[in-house]
Amino acid sequence: MRLDLPSGNNGVATITLDSPKTRNALSLDILNQLKTAIAEVEEHVKTSVVIIQANSKDTGVFCSGHNLKEVIQTRKDRDAQQLLFRTCSELMSSITHSPKAVICKVDGLATAAGCQLVASCDLAVASDRSTFGTPGVNIGLFCSTPAVPIVRAVGQKRALQMLLTGDLVDAETAERWGLISFSVGKGEIDAAVDTLAQKVALKSSTAIAMGKAGFYDQLSDDLDQAYLKASDVMVENMMEYDAGEGISAFLEKRAPVWSTAER
């Protein structure tokens, strides 16, 4: 795993899974490295967007989920298993709770916790050779934690189809179901993700941080409770410098200069 903080002023950090020999499996060590990387990015003021990608060029594997050789060694050790799955859940949850916009760049196979990683990011772009699945059911281990963000992305019938059959779905289907934001041709993924990341990085990082937190916070509330929370977020957002600057710039037909400029 490798973390690259923004080079220059583009505001885009990159986290790269780089264990092609183990199909970029999420061992406990890698999960902890990822958690640390997400936390480090969170503290980095100059970063407003994070891309999570993988070295999949030669293998065609984005991420195959947990490292089964590691898992089987401690299979009957409840504490070890609990540590593993809690750490994984904490990582995935930390992506959701991160104040940065997180984009998943998928070019290959994403299965089990690898598919969970895709579903957990705010945005996801995949090349058309990518496939997605939750095949845990094939090895007697239902993908229960991957199901958490996947069903929230694709809905019940599609999630259960993936979970009960273990079948892979292609990128076009994943886009249609809402598991990813969109798919592009294999040769276009670098440009597509760069364009998307740059577009989001040009926004006010204050607005994104406040908005993203508010967005996830109200998802499971009933409508009126959600509105109470969201109204408060709007008011606090309005008190920020960037809202004043952004609205003024819009009315004056000029580009805004955010509070994080000159970074």
Helix-, strand-, coil-residue percentages of the chain, each rounded to 5 = 55, 15, 30
CB atoms within 10 A of CB 141: 15
User: CA 137 → CA 86, 156, 161, distances in Å?
Assistant: 20, 17, 11
Q: Of 29, 190, 221, 263, which one interacts with a copy of itself (CB under 8 A)?
A: 221
Q: Of 16, 22, 59, 89, which one interacts with a copy of itself (CB under 8 A)?
A: 89
Token pair for residue 77? 């050790």
Binding of a copy of itself at residue 39 (CB under 8 A)?
no
Q: What track of x and - describes contact with a copy of itself for positions 230 through 249 (by CB under 8 A)?
A: xxxxxx-xxxx-xxxxxxxx
Query: Shortest Cβ distance from residue 186 to a copy of itself (Å)?
Result: 21
| For a copy of itself, the closer CB: 57 or 252 | 252
The C-alpha atoms of residue 247 and residue 23 are separated, in whole angstroms, by 47
| For a copy of itself, the closer CB: 9 or 81 | 81
Binding of a copy of itself at residue 172 (CB under 8 A)?
no
Binding of a copy of itself at residue 261 (CB under 8 A)?
no
| For a copy of itself, the closer CB: 41 or 71 | 71
Q: Which of residues 100-129 bind a copy of itself (CB under 8 A)?
A: 101, 122-124
User: CA 198 → CA 11, 62, 119, 194, 201, distances in Å?
Assistant: 8, 23, 21, 6, 5
The C-alpha atoms of residue 182 and residue 188 are separated, in whole angstroms, by 12
Q: Of 8, 43, 45, 251, which one interacts with a copy of itself (CB under 8 A)?
A: 251
Radius of gyration of the chain (CA): 19
Binding of a copy of itself at residue 132 (CB under 8 A)?
no
Query: Shortest Cβ distance from residue 250 to a copy of itself (Å)?
Result: 5
Q: Of 45, 57, 72, 187, which one interacts with a copy of itself (CB under 8 A)?
A: 72
Report helix angle 205-217 to 78-97, nearest 10: 130
Query: Shortest Cβ distance from residue 129 to a copy of itself (Å)?
Result: 20
Q: Of 17, 180, 184, 189, which one interacts with a copy of itself (CB under 8 A)?
A: 180
Phi-psi region of 6 (alpha: psi -120 to 50; beta: other; left: phi over 0): beta
Q: What end-to-end distance do the CA atoms of the chain give, in Å? A: 26
Binding of a copy of itself at residue 144 (CB under 8 A)?
yes
Token pair for residue 187? 């040769």
